[in-house]
Amino acid sequence: RIAYVNGRYLPHSDAAIHIEDRGFQFADGVYEVCEVRDGLIIDLTRHLDRLDRSLRELRMASPMAREPLKLVIREVLRRNRVRNGLFYLQVTRGVARRDHYFPAAGTSPTLTITAKSVDPQPARARYETGIKVITVPENRWDRVDIKTVGLLPNVLVKQQAKDAGAQDAIFVDAAGKVTEAASSNVWIVSADGVLVTRPAEHGILRGVTRTTVLEVAASLSVPVEEREFTVEEMLAAREVFLTSATGSCVPVVAVDGRTIANGHPGSVAAALRGAFLHIAEKTPI
Ligand code: PLP
């Protein structure tokens, strides 16, 4: 495997950053993960738009203009011969002697990009069986709308889910409302057939897949409400599913050991997943 590190393409095993990189010391960095299917990058523009926003919100310099960045991403995918898989892109505020204040103007951001092939088969199996999740109290900071590499709460709850025999964890805020899962957005199909997901203004990351799924729902004439919902409403839903760039729409069949509907993946998630690739932007490698 080949990784891109600040202008160089290196063997993955040799790719490294300095120990005084602010990403390493302060989680002072942002990232994006983008799906690749059959040699097509999915929703690249929206991912790069969100990267720009994350950088802006943290007053971090952009490592590279949009067009050269796209060339580098495609080169990393080509060098790793990825047809189905993903790329991971990370930008940090750069290398500087440890100090909380921003480093001197002119400090170069660190840009790293890796790519890997992913076997589509396990994902397909997950769509057929669905996954189990647990709920956990929301304990993250109030800027989860920024896609930063500070993911320790997410790491801890995902492991907690695994230890409990589940696959994912859903955060629930102090008001009893669902925010999002450890690395995806949460959707329900209510008892009266309406697709419901939390507004992206507060408390969640505005998932690129979420945005595209809203368009897919409109194209299929599925009624949608962007509003908050409680755990009780989720438990009583016809369907629960999660969206993320690497997972598309993953059905949830149990929450905290309680079965959702008849315990089988629902038809709305399947229909949205089926139409997703028709609607999403597709960029050839
Ligand atoms: N929410 C969180 C906390 C995430 O980490 C992610 C993706 O990694 C998402 C939501 C889904 O975002 P996207 O659809 O852009 O992958």
How confident is the model at residue 7, as a pLDDT? 96
Q: Shortest CA distance to 153 belongs to which of 121, 120, 181, 193? A: 181
Residues paired with residue 247 on neighbouring β-strands, in sequence order: none
Unique residue bearing structure tokens 């669905």: 130
Spatial contact of 171 and 180, defined as CB atoms under 8 Å apart: yes
Q: What percent of the chain has pLDDT over 70?
A: 100
* Average confidence (pLDDT) over 227-240: 98
pTM above 0.80, yes or no: yes
Ligand 1, residues 205, 206, 281: which to mutate, most atoms within 8 A of Cβ?
205
Spatial contact of 22 and 95, defined as CB atoms under 8 Å apart: yes
Q: Give yes or no for residue 202 having a pLDDT over 90.
A: no
How many Å apart are CA 114 and CA 2, to the nearest integer?
7
ipTM entry:
0.99
Give residue 31's region: left, alpha or beta (phi > 0; psi -120 to 50).
beta
Please give the number of the atom of ligand 1 that sits closest to the Cα of 182: 3
* Average confidence (pLDDT) over 30-41: 98
Q: Give yes or no for residue 268 having a pLDDT over 90.
A: yes
- List, in order of start, the domains of the chain with CATH numbers: 2-118 (3.30.470.10), 123-284 (3.20.10.10)
Please give the number of the atom of ligand 1 that sits closest to the Cα of 210: 14
The one catalytic residue in 147, 158, 177, 282 is 147
Question: Whose C-alpha lies nearest to ligand 1, atom 8?
Answer: 183
Helix (H) or strand (E) holding 212: helix 208-219
Residues paired with residue 116 on neighbouring β-strands, in sequence order: 86
Q: Is 158 a catalytic residue?
A: no
Q: In which band, very low, low, confident or very high, does the pLDDT at 199 lie, cut at 50, 70 and 90?
A: very high
How confident is the model at residue 120, as a pLDDT? 87
How many Å apart are CA 206 and CA 198, to the nearest integer?
10
Ligand 1, residues 86, 215, 244, 272: which to mutate, most atoms within 8 A of Cβ?
244
Question: Whose C-alpha lies nearest to ligand 1, atom 9?
Answer: 184
* Average confidence (pLDDT) over 10-30: 97
Question: Whose C-alpha lies nearest to ligand 1, atom 7?
Answer: 183
| pLDDT tens digits for range 134-192 | 999 999 999 999 999 999 999 999 999 999 999 999 999 999 999 999 999 999 999 99
| pLDDT tens digits for range 67-126 | 999 999 999 999 999 999 999 999 999 999 999 999 999 999 999 999 999 998 888 899
How confident is the model at residue 279, as a pLDDT? 97
* Average confidence (pLDDT) over 19-47: 98
Helix (H) or strand (E) holding 160: helix 152-163
Helix (H) or strand (E) holding 158: helix 152-163
Tokens of residue 166, six digits: 């589940």
